[in-house]
Amino acid sequence: MYSHVHVIKLSRDILLCCLRHPFKFWGQDNNKKENHLYIRFWGVRGTIPTPGKDTIEVGGNTPCVEVRTSDDQLIIIDAGTGILPLGRHLLQENPGRITGNILISHTHWDHIQGFPFFAPIWGRTNRFILMGRKRVGQRLEEIVSGQFMEPYLPFAYKSLPADLIVKEVNDNETIFIGDKTGVRFAAMNHPGGCLGFRIENENSVFAYCSDVGHEDDEFDRGVLQLAEGADLLVHDSHFSTIAERNMRRDWGHSTWLEAAQVAIEAHVKNLALFHFSPDMNDAAVGKIAKKARGIFPRTFIAREGLKINLPFSDELPE
């Protein structure tokens, strides 16, 4: 085990102390409203980064979402390539110590490929708690550290200066971050397994379900549990048609139609379409959003750079 990396297994009390009373996250984003749950999208694309003129409006980075709680705790969801610009932003905003929690939905490459280049992990005074689950018999720490070796990278995981704590979580487990925020985990239908998250912060509820394949005759139970009554549901919208989904059913992804239907079934207040196929350009994403609004009117596109404060005002993001 690396000396600077702590895999917490023996002491639940120590972990809860770390989560409930972490070091203060200094530095406020100018767009965060007091006593609100703040969300910013840094990566919204699925499978592989797709930079270029055809994706510039929606964005080409793979999944990464920043969440700031009402008591200024930092939660980062997934570590796709969107975590690179987030890391630069955090360093600019916080010249001192940076602490936070990183929730990993699963370790398919598009959700962890940015982590080695997340600049704050190269700061000796910084500290992060990584949370996720085992996959295909491997511990989370083993999978994440597996990126940091030859022939993939010229530097090793054990060389990271930051203090990293790795916590494995289970289906239906709930942990607490700070004094005002609970995070519930639920397993979803995706090859090898995937976690969704329900973040409850004072009067706001945010559900994140990035990668899920629903059955023809029923919606994924974990998604419905996480999304029930949420102020905002972020839902997988990888496929543009049911026919396309059926051709690649083993990929474990959804269509915009299923996202809209889940929002209705779970009594969600607002829906953000997310995890777009690399084959979708900006125009294609705009088309599926328009169709989704025909079923669930309070639907919008999760775009890179989009900033949201929950609970919502009546006006949706553009």
Q: pLDDT tens for the chain, 318 residues: list them.
A: 333 444 333 334 434 444 443 433 333 455 677 778 999 999 999 999 999 999 999 999 999 999 999 999 999 999 999 999 999 999 999 889 999 999 999 999 999 999 999 999 999 999 999 999 998 789 999 999 999 988 889 999 999 999 999 999 999 999 999 999 999 999 999 999 999 999 999 999 999 999 999 888 899 999 999 999 999 999 999 998 877 877 777 777 899 999 999 999 999 999 999 999 999 999 999 999 999 999 999 999 999 999 999 998 778 887
Phi then psi for residue 7, to 5 deg, are -95, 115
CA angle at residue 273 from 308 to 57, to 5 degrees? Answer: 75
Asked if 78 and 105 count as a contact pair (C-beta separation under 8 A), the reply is yes
d(CA 38, CA 85): 17
Residues near 247 by Cβ (< 8 Å), separated by ≥ 6? none
Look up residue 274 and give its amino acid. Answer: F
Q: How far is CA 148 from CA 114, 214, 252, in A?
A: 12, 34, 27
Buried/exposed code over 270-297 (b: 16+ C-beta within 10 A; e: otherwise): bbbbbbbbbebbbebbeebbeebbeebe
Look up residue 277 and give its amino acid. Answer: S
Q: How far is CA 253 from CA 71, 119, 123, 238, in A?
A: 34, 30, 36, 6
d(CA 281, CA 275): 13
Asked if 289 and 256 count as a contact pair (C-beta separation under 8 A), the reply is yes
Domains of the chain from N-terminus onward = 5-25+34-307 (3.60.15.10)
d(CA 47, CA 314): 33
Give the closest residue to 77 by CA, choosing from 29, 128, 4.
Answer: 128
Q: What is the pLDDT of residue 16?
A: 44
Q: What is the pLDDT of residue 215?
A: 86
Q: Are strands 307-310 and 37-43 parallel, antiparallel or unpaired?
A: antiparallel
d(CA 140, CA 260): 32
